[in-house]
Chain A
Amino acid sequence: MDFRLSEEQEFFRQTVADTVDRLIMPKVEEIDRTDEFPWELWKEFTSLGYLGLRYPEEYGGMDADPVTCMLFYEEMSRASVGFAQSVTMNMLMGTYFVYRFGNDAIKERCFLPAIRGEKIATMCFTEDQSGSDIGATRTQAKKVDGGWVINGTKNWITNGPLADCATVLATSDPSLGAKGLNFFLVEKGTPGFSPGQVLHKLGCRGTVTGELVFEDVFVPDENLLGEEVGKGTNYLTEILNEVRCMTAAMAIGIARTAVADGLDYARKRMAFGKAIGEYQLIREKFARIVTELEASRLLMLSAAWKIGEGMNPRNEAMMAKYHAVEMCLECVDEVTRVYGANGFAEEYGPQRYFRDARFLLYGGGTHEVLKNALGKAVMSGHWR
């Protein structure tokens, strides 16, 4: 057993960290304040080629293993989780099924421009009445001659209102629940497809999240992203572990920035004649949250490593997401306490970490749903 990153992975991590520090860090506060999609940064950052990270080299990608991808997601989220979400939507959820099932023309039209950052991609799951419970999806696709007609409304879609290419989850038979689901590619400009309301979020600002409306949207047969009708749930499992590990990596990224800021503050802030970091109660906070942070990272990296080895770490990926996000919430809470009243001030970082961290609770499954699934797995002997 060897827990070290390879020399190459370490170099990659350091290079990404440096890129993030140079390009994204200086813009983080502005992105949060204006809540506008940072087009200029998007162009500058995506021109470096990172969006193809997990895809084969023949498409201009890096063919990176899941552990290397996690290092990228973690470093990105150290700066702006909002921007990281826009980026990762194009890198993974918004492009995976287009890459996996799209024909050459579709790849040329949507996949390649999306991983070059020239087009914005998204994946639409959530609706007003369904999120983690995807079997309750109401957006419906009806088979017609030569294609499908889609009707429904999606909500909480990252990149949604800006999307050029949307991978849409829709049921072909509502009576089948999770066994009637499919993915369809819908492109901007298709009649009946339009962006709806943009949501104003507490955190993760700068990433545009909102509704997408489908009114009698016709797409041709080749836009069904899957080999068989009704297998959407099965296809989804191909990336679900990775999505959950990615959410864990993002939580770890936020927590690292919070801890770094907290340590800096605790070393400088004086109270009763000495730095507050000299007091045991402050040290206890750091001892505890850093231990939890390292535990989260081990869980996340081990699950990611298993994905790379072709295993199916379904439970570990759920644990990684659940543990890391709870750790992150605890961590930013403790850091705001280290800051005292300044933790409540917009002039300091912790209030932003506090707001951003909460958005990670939902993606990849709420913790209530994840714990239910984990509890069921454990009770039925599927743990280990």
Chain B
Amino acid sequence: MVVLAKEVPDLEAMVKVTADGGALEVEKRRGLNFFDEIAVEAALKLEQSAGASVLAVSAGAGTGIEALRRALAMGSDAALLVDDPALEHADSLTVARALAAAARREGFDLVLAGKQATDDEAGLVGPMVAELLGVPCVTNIIGLQVEGDIARVTRETEAGRETLSVALPAVLTVEKGLAEPRVPAVMGVMKAMKAQIPRVTLAELGAEAQPPLTLAGYATAPARPPAKMLEGEPATVAVELARLLKEEAKVL
């Protein structure tokens, strides 16, 4: 199994747009993407029942080691970093090409990934990797069972729950609720601390480095107008709220 593991800034890290709008200044607190951590946990659970091994793969320009160490600490068998300067600010397709090339080289029956990353929230890499590998893809799964070379997956839709059977190999992206990520035990932490994580470049993988998208700039979101607090008896407040929603906000 291959798990795609993105390194992202900590959810509480301070983020600021630079004065020229060309980049983000992000506090240097980084870790494994929340949804990828769920993917690692799901892979480890399958590993226990199916006897497969788990390889965590990340892609970045000098970043990704922290995320991979976390995946190792949780119990992944091995890790691989696609480390290339061309991955600095790379778009989703470039990252997907790198990860797909790594997965192809290492071999897989199943690729698991978070449904999206908590930094750019694009949610593109998983399905793109599936397309590049030429295998089926199911997104946002909350249930997973593997029987032979078929995966039975559950996903939540607006209408209810949908259960699908997917022929392996496949790419599955995971939603919150699929598994509760474990807290790493010391043995895993030790292994992760000592691990020499191998690195490969895009050229070594034969992956294309030319991004079709370039970053034009960042802008700070405009500050929200201050909230209006209504005070008084519930009945009066409700009438006033209904009036405001209808006349001012025009949402009713």
Q: Mark A202-233, 1 if CB is under 8 A from B, else 0.
A: 00000000000000000000000000000000
Q: What chain A residues lie within 8 Å of B190 (beta carbons)?
A: 57, 62
In the complex, how many angstroms separate the beta carbon of B55 from the nearest chain A beta carbon? 19
Docked Cα-Cα span, A11 to B69, in Å, equals 8
Given A11-B193, A14-B31, are A48 and B66 also a contact pair (CB < 8 Å)?
no
CB pair B189–A12 under 8 Å, yes or no, is yes
| Stretch touching chain B among A15-23, A269-277, A303-311 | A15-23
| Stretch touching chain A among B46-54, B122-130, B166-174, B178-186 | B178-186
Chain A to chain B contacts (Cβ below 8 Å), 22 pairs: A7-B65, A8-B194, A11-B69, A11-B192, A11-B193, A14-B31, A14-B66, A15-B73, A15-B184, A15-B192, A18-B31, A22-B183, A23-B183, A47-B185, A48-B184, A48-B185, A48-B186, A49-B186, A49-B187, A50-B186, A53-B186, A62-B190
Docked Cα-Cα span, A12 to B69, in Å, equals 10
Q: Is B70 an interface residue (CB 8 A)?
A: yes
Docked Cα-Cα span, A191 to B153, in Å, equals 61
Q: Is A253 an interface residue (CB 8 A)?
A: no
Output the nearest chain B residue to A11 by Cβ-Cβ distance.
Answer: B69
Q: What chain B residues lie within 8 Å of A262 (beta carbons)?
A: none
Q: Is A52 an interface residue (CB 8 A)?
A: yes
Q: Mark A50-64, 1 if CB is under 8 A from B, else 0.
A: 101100010000100
Q: What chain A residues lie within 8 Å of B183 (beta carbons)?
A: 18-19, 22-23, 48
Output the nearest chain B residue to A52 by Cβ-Cβ distance.
Answer: B186
Output the nearest chain A residue to B31 by Cβ-Cβ distance.
Answer: A14
In the complex, how many angstroms separate the beta carbon of A16 from the nearest chain B beta carbon? 8
In the complex, how many angstroms separate the beta carbon of A223 from the nearest chain B beta carbon? 29
Docked Cα-Cα span, A62 to B186, in Å, equals 8
In the complex, how many angstroms separate the beta carbon of A302 from the nearest chain B beta carbon? 22
Of the listed residues A15, A19, A48, the one surrounded by the most CB atoms of chain B closer than 10 A to its CB is A15
Question: Residues of A with Cβ closer than 8 Å to B?
Answer: 7-8, 11-12, 14-15, 18-19, 22-23, 47-50, 52-53, 57, 62
CB pair B184–A19 under 8 Å, yes or no, is yes
Output the nearest chain A residue to B70 by Cβ-Cβ distance.
Answer: A15
Docked Cα-Cα span, A52 to B73, in Å, equals 17
In the complex, how many angstroms separate the beta carbon of A27 from the nearest chain B beta carbon? 14
Docked Cα-Cα span, A305 to B171, in Å, equals 47
Output the nearest chain B residue to A15 by Cβ-Cβ distance.
Answer: B189
In the complex, how many angstroms separate the beta carbon of B44 from the nearest chain A beta carbon? 16
In the complex, how many angstroms separate the beta carbon of A266 from the nearest chain B beta carbon? 16
Output the nearest chain A residue to B189 by Cβ-Cβ distance.
Answer: A15
5 further contact pairs, Cβ within 8 A, besides A7-B65, A52-B186, A53-B186: A15-B189, A15-B192, A19-B184, A23-B183, A62-B186
Q: Which residues B87-132 have CB closer than 8 A to chain A?
A: none
Given A11-B69, A15-B70, are A49 and B193 also a contact pair (CB < 8 Å)?
no
Docked Cα-Cα span, A22 to B181, in Å, equals 11
The 9 A-B residue pairs with the shortest CB-CB distance in the complex, in nearest-first order: A49-B186, A8-B193, A48-B185, A49-B185, A11-B69, A19-B183, A15-B189, A62-B190, A50-B186
Q: What chain A residues lie within 8 Å of B185 (beta carbons)?
A: 47-49
Q: What chain A residues lie within 8 Å of B194 (beta carbons)?
A: 8
Of the listed residues B186, B189, B190, the one surrounded by the most CB atoms of chain A closer than 10 A to its CB is B186
In the complex, how many angstroms separate the beta carbon of B82 from the nearest chain A beta carbon? 19
Q: What chain B residues lie within 8 Å of A49 (beta carbons)?
A: 185-187
Of the listed residues A8, A22, A53, the one surrounded by the most CB atoms of chain B closer than 10 A to its CB is A8
Docked Cα-Cα span, A62 to B187, in Å, equals 8
Q: What chain B residues lie within 8 Å of A22 (beta carbons)?
A: 183
Q: What chain A residues lie within 8 Å of B65 (beta carbons)?
A: 7
In the complex, how many angstroms separate the beta carbon of A41 from the nearest chain B beta carbon? 12
In the complex, how many angstroms separate the beta carbon of B130 from the nearest chain A beta carbon? 30
Of the listed residues B73, B190, B192, the one surrounded by the most CB atoms of chain A closer than 10 A to its CB is B190
Output the nearest chain B residue to A57 by Cβ-Cβ distance.
Answer: B190
Docked Cα-Cα span, A223 to B215, in Å, equals 70
Docked Cα-Cα span, A234 to B187, in Å, equals 33
Q: What chain A residues lie within 8 Å of B189 (beta carbons)?
A: 12, 15, 62
Docked Cα-Cα span, A8 to B193, in Å, equals 5
In the complex, how many angstroms separate the beta carbon of B34 from the nearest chain A beta carbon? 12
Q: Mark B213-250, 1 if CB is under 8 A from A, else 0.
A: 00000000000000000000000000000000000000
Q: Mark B144-177, 1 if CB is under 8 A from A, else 0.
A: 0000000000000000000000000000000000
Docked Cα-Cα span, A18 to B189, in Å, equals 12
Q: What chain A residues lie within 8 Å of B186 (beta carbons)?
A: 48-50, 52-53, 62
Q: What chain B residues lie within 8 Å of A18 (beta carbons)?
A: 31, 183
In the complex, how many angstroms separate the beta carbon of A58 from the nearest chain B beta carbon? 13
Q: What chain B residues lie within 8 Å of A47 (beta carbons)?
A: 185
In the complex, how many angstroms separate the beta carbon of B192 from the nearest chain A beta carbon? 7
In the complex, how many angstroms separate the beta carbon of B97 from the nearest chain A beta carbon? 28
Q: What chain A residues lie within 8 Å of B192 (beta carbons)?
A: 11, 15
CB pair B184–A11 under 8 Å, yes or no, is no
Docked Cα-Cα span, A48 to B75, in Å, equals 13
In the complex, how many angstroms separate the beta carbon of B107 from the nearest chain A beta carbon? 28
